[in-house]
Amino acid sequence: MTTIEDYARWAEAVELELPRVDAGAQRLAYLALGLAGEAGEAVETVKRLLRDGTWNPENLAEELGDVAWYWVRLCAAAGRSPAEVLEASRRKIDTRLAARRSTS
């Protein structure tokens, strides 16, 4: 079984084999645009379900895999491991939920 950290190390090695994008802003833009594009393709799969009634979970899973690749590379660009990003997200959401529960 692949962990998120194993996947991140693999994605780093793959990125080294891709055509080079200049460091800095261009690299960040490339990764962010890739993430947005792949997320859009995943959303398109769901839109087809609503529009046409066709559901392709295999295609959705494939697109989510592409989203994961760009996401882990952006985590690295931010100087964070995917596990750190996920833990921070969990804490933020838990804080929001606790605040919501205390006001209801």
Task: Provide the residue ranges of all domains of the chain, joining segments of one domain with +.
Answer: 4-103
The secondary structure element, H or E, covering residue 16 is helix 4-17
Average pLDDT over residues 19-25: 74
Of the chain, the end-to-end C-alpha distance in Å amounts to 41
Per-residue pLDDT of 35-88, as tens digits, reads 999 999 999 999 999 999 999 999 999 999 999 999 999 999 999 999 999 999
Does residue 55 or residue 16 have the better pLDDT? Answer: 55
pLDDT, position 15: 80
**Cβ atoms of 66 and 11 closer than 8 Å:** no
Tell me which residue of 10, 5, 28 sits closest to 86, measured CA to CA.
5
pLDDT, position 45: 97
Poorest-pLDDT segment among 27-31, 68-72, 73-77, 93-97: 27-31
pLDDT exceeds 90 at position 14: no
Q: What is the distance between the alpha carbons of residues 54 and 51, in angstroms, rounded to a whole number?
A: 8
Q: What is the distance between the alpha carbons of residues 38 and 60, in angstroms, rounded to a whole number?
A: 10
Structure-block tokens of residue 34? 């890739």
Question: Would you state the CATH architecture of domain 4-103?
Answer: Orthogonal Bundle (1.10)
Q: What is the distance between the alpha carbons of residues 102 and 14, in angstroms, rounded to a whole number?
A: 46
Structure-block tokens of residue 81? 């491991």
Tell me the pTM: 0.84
Average pLDDT over residues 10-25: 78
DSSP state of 79: T
pLDDT, position 25: 85
